[in-house]
């Protein structure tokens, strides 16, 4: 991916000191085996992913490659040239988004208001307000765009809503129970009864620092901003996900609530699952450390870098980046 992004955003770097050679079997189609490495600009403050960046390289040409450890692997999510319009007005919002996310990586997408960040996350989960007009999205080897929203969720894609809707009359625990059982059914496991489910969910409440009465309230009804975000994370904790898209999980949170939410998210991370964060602010990136930061502008990802990109942003703003 590094390669790909650099193609679009900056001149391709000439790989100078390859510490290892790409062992990809799929790279035959390329004119020469391009040995890739993390350039110094990609030094991450976060513990780097054990898999070499070479894996991302396959984004352009193929979906399978072999990592440095010799394991065959597929990117978790691969987005190519995704374009989308608002269903009602046909106004184009996404104008060719490319993104590859591998297992265990944390990505952050930043950008100005209206750059298409939230639209991108909604399009990924199949929000009916948007229509995909072109491009491909492959999630775990399957065409995501062919799937219904619920199938995407069951396949392991989770999006925390920026402003989750209130559902009066539906109990929070019933809602979670329903969703959890849908997941179990999909996996061919027996559904849980109310008591078993309660036993399952009870320990998860601590994770988001919520009291039990939280479960007996109606979904998001009368919830404060912070409660809504915690509820989203609770759902993530209950349902699990291979890729969690956190759409402005930090908006409207005070410092303490942000810490709670970030702690919960970090607690859910495993070496295999991935996170895609949409945010305006650097402060979230300080508590959930991203592997990559993408800058989105006018419906495209115009730049990708490591977490140092956030510092550049902080100092010089988006203009500096789009100009670069």
Partner 1 sequence: MAALTFIHQNLLHSTPKLTTSKPNLKPKRTKTKLSIQTIRESPQASFTDQFVLQLADSLEDSLPSSSSSLPLQKLRDNSSETLLSTQWPSRKDESFRFTDTSFIKNSDINPISHPPNSLDLLEVSRDTQFESFNFVDGFLVDSSFSSSNLPDGVYVGSLSKLSSEGILKRVCELLGDFEWGDLFWSVNGLGAPDLMVVYVPEGCRVENPIYLKYIAVEGADKGSKKMPLSNPRVFVLVEKGGEVGIVEEFVGKVGSECYWTNSVLEVVVGEGGKVSHSYVQKQSLSAAHIKWTSVRQEKTSAYELVEVSTGGKLSRHNVHVQQLGSDTVTELTTFHLSVGDQTQDLHSRIVLDHPRGYSQQLHKCIVAHSSGQAVFDGNVKVNSHANEYGDQEVKFMQKKKPKKLIYFCWLLPLATRYAQQTDAGQLTRSLLLEPRATVNVKPNLQIIADDVKCSHGAAISDLEDSQLFYFQARGIDLETAREALVFSFGAEVIDKLPYSFVQKQVKDHVKALLKSRRKGSS
Give contact residues for partner 1 (rule: CB under 8 A): 125-128, 148-150, 153-154, 159, 161, 164-165, 167-170, 174-175, 178-179, 182-183, 186, 219, 235, 239
> What minimum distance in Å lies between the beta carbon of 221 and partner 1?
11
Instruction: Copy the structure tokens of residue 111.
Output: 């950008």
Q: Which is nearer to partner 1, 234 or 293 (CB)?
A: 234
In terms of CB distance, is 126 or 135 closer to partner 1? 126
Q: Please, where are the H alpha helices in the chain?
A: 2-9, 54-61, 117-125, 149-154, 172-186, 194-207, 213-216, 225-239, 255-268, 282-287, 308-323
Q: How far is CA 79 from CA 47, 101, 176, 256, in A?
A: 25, 9, 30, 35
Nearer to partner 1, 129 or 254 (CB): 129
Q: How far is the CB of 171 from partner 1 (least distance, A)?
A: 9
User: Between the CA atoms of 94, 97, 101 and 106, what dihedral angle is there, to the nearest 10 degrees?
Assistant: -60
Question: Shortest approach of partner 1 to residue 86 CB, angstroms?
Answer: 14
Cα 276 to Cα 278: distance, rounded to the nearest angstrom: 7
Q: Residue 32 Cβ, how far from partner 1 at the closest point, in Å?
A: 44
Tokens of 262: 């970030």
| Residue 176: both structure tokens together | 């979670």
The distance of closest approach from Cβ of residue 235 to partner 1 in the complex, given in angstroms and rounded to an integer, is 6
| Closer Cβ to partner 1, 85 or 159, answer by number | 159
Q: Which residue matches tokens 């990586």? A: 105
**Nearest C-alpha neighbor of 296 from the set 109, 118, 92, 107:** 109
Q: Which is nearer to partner 1, 14 or 165 (CB)?
A: 165
Q: Name the residue among 303, 270, 269 with its Cα closest to residue 287.
A: 269
Question: In terms of CB distance, is 153 or 291 closer to partner 1?
Answer: 153
Contact 258, 279 (CB under 8 A): no
* Contact between 305 and 108 (Cβ < 8 Å): no
**Least distance in Å: CB of 206 to partner 1?**
21
Q: Which is nearer to partner 1, 52 or 156 (CB)?
A: 156
Taking the least distance from each CB to partner 1, the nearer of 111 and 126 is 126
Whole-angstrom distance, CA of residue 133 vs CA of residue 288:
33
Smallest separation (angstroms) from partner 1 to the CB of 282: 28
Smallest gap from residue 238 Cβ to partner 1 (A): 9
Here the tokens at position 237 are 């904790």
| Residue closer to partner 1 (CB basis): 128 or 190 | 128
Q: Please, is 175 exposed, middle or buried when counting C-beta atoms within 10 Å of its C-beta (0-12, 13-18, 19+)?
A: middle
* Least distance (Å) between residue 181 CB and partner 1: 9
Q: How many CB atoms lie within 10 A of CB 151?
A: 14
């Amino acid at each position: 991916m590094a390669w790909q992004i650099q193609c679009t955003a900056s001149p391709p770097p000439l790989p100078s000191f390859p510490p290892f050679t790409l062992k990809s079997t799929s790279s035959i189609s390329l004119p020469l085996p391009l040995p890739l490495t993390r350039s110094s600009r990609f030094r991450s403050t976060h513990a780097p992913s054990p898999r070499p960046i070479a894996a991302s390289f396959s984004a352009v040409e193929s979906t399978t490659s072999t990592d440095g450890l010799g394991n065959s692997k597929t990117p978790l999510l691969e987005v190519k040239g995704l374009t989308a319009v608002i269903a009602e007005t046909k106004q184009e919002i996404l104008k060719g988004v490319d993104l590859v996310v591998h297992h265990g990586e944390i990505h952050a997408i930043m950008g100005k208001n209206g750059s298409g960040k939230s639209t991108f996350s909604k399009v990924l989960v199949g929000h009916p307000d948007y229509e995909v007009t072109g491009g491909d999205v492959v999630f775990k080897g399957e065409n995501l765009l062919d799937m219904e929203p619920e199938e995407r969720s069951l396949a392991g894609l989770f999006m925390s809503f920026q402003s989750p809707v209130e559902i009066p009359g539906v109990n929070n625990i019933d809602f979670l129970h329903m969703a959890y059982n849908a997941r179990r059914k999909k996996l061919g496991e027996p559904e849980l009864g109310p008591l078993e489910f309660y036993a399952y969910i009870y320990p998860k409440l601590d994770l988001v620092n919520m009291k039990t009465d939280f479960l007996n309230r109606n979904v998001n009804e009368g919830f404060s901003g912070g409660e809504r975000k915690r509820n989203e994370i609770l759902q993530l904790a209950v349902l699990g996900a291979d890729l969690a898209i956190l759409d402005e999980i930090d908006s409207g949170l005070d410092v303490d609530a942000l810490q709670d939410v970030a702690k919960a998210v970090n607690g859910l991370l495993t070496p295999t699952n991935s996170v895609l964060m949409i945010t305006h602010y650097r402060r979230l990136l300080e508590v959930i450390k991203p592997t990559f930061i993408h800058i989105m502008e006018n419906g495209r990802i115009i730049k990708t870098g490591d977490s140092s990109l956030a510092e550049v942003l902080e100092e010089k703003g988006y203009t500096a980046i789009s100009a670069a």
